[in-house]
Amino acid sequence: MKQEAVTFRRSQIILPSSEEPHIPEKNSTESSQNPFFKKLLSTIAHQIKFGKNFYTHIVQRFATIFTEKYGVDRTSRPVSSEFEPRKLSAKEPSSFLKSGSFLLSFTKKASVNPLNMTKVTSAPMDCQVSVKTAAEEIKEFRKILILLLTELVKNLPNFSDVQWTATNSRLLLETVNDILFGNEQLYNSMMKLIGSALGEKQEDFMKQKIYTKNMTTEEYQIHPNFCMEGEPHPYLSAVEVMNMLGQHFTPEDKFKTVCATKMEVIKAVDRYWDIKDPNKPNSELIISADELLPIYTYIVSKTSGGKLLCEMYFIEEFLDQHTLYFSENSYFFATVSAATSFILTLSKAKGMKICE
């Protein structure tokens, strides 16, 4: 089977190749246009997030309704169905008037949903149902916003013939995620809801992390070549990268942060052996998939706080499925997910076997 490698100087992580190989899209127009298309989307996102326009208004309105409907700290009063949009500029494409009207109808329907009268702070099962419903409503609104921005791009002179390939569609999705979760009100409400739904599981995770706090790399049965014997804080840079998850707000940025630990792992191995034994053969510094899981489990156990489960849930819920399951980083994200699951099932017996 073909293998994939991540390399830094002498160290390597060798993984089996994914079952669905990546086939690059052969489109010369897209290749030459992509940098300009990315810049355009970045400009659009900035103007919506920090400007005062039609799109800013509907995103903020959705965030307000969402928070009143699902916010953990909300009161039980019904959400007002009043929504008076500003007058649209004559410069804005008339096609948006219909889209805007549909959106007003959508938000008004959401505002009189029976869930508005029910507190979401009661039973855990209620929280689990609510978080799934809330996530679906964000995804539905996201679809609307994608349609709106697609129309906007089509009406721009230099982009009317843009090719909506899978790559460009993912770029647009990333832009919309940036717009939505760049809204502090919406992001905080969703993360609080996830935290409430995962409350008991998060508590168990924290307890297990307290138990594993002083466990060594040897106790995790990490391969001797990667145990870093004598190192006071093995894989510290990878732990620090993982701790930065909460500083990012989009599923794409969080995903990239989780996967960035792979480079920190092999850098740490390289630095360790550069000092301990510079002549150690490169062939002995290859980390296989089986050897990677104990290392990641050790790293996850050393992360600070108890928000990792919420961060992973958020990524899985809102990241596009291709990136999550079929990108070059999918295996590393799956390994972190497996590490968190393993920590949750740890027994208090020493010398547990991680890879069987």
What are the tens digits of pLDDT across the range 202-211? Answer: 889 988 888 8
| Per-residue pLDDT, 20 | 44
**Residue with structure tokens 């349609």?**
147
Structure tokens at 27: 């489109």
Give the residues across from 159 on adjacent strands. Answer: none
CA dihedral sign, ordered 164, 165, 166, 168: negative
Helix, strand and coil percent figures for the chain, each rounded to 5: 65, 5, 30
Domain ranges of the chain: 3-19+198-344, 52-195
pTM, 2 dp: 0.80
CATH class of the domain whose range is 3-19+198-344: mainly alpha
b/e string for 143-170 if b means 16 or more Cβ within 10 A? ebbeebbeebbeeeeeeeebeeeebbee
Between CA 171 and CA 129 the distance in angstroms is: 30
| Per-residue pLDDT, 73 | 52
| Per-residue pLDDT, 2 | 44
| Per-residue pLDDT, 340 | 93
| Per-residue pLDDT, 9 | 65
For residue 332, how many other CB atoms are within 10 A of its CB?
A: 22
Q: Which regions in the chain score pLDDT beneath 50?
A: 1-2, 18-32, 74-125, 348-351, 356
| Per-residue pLDDT, 107 | 43
Which CA distances in Å does 214 have to 209, 234, 326? 9, 12, 36
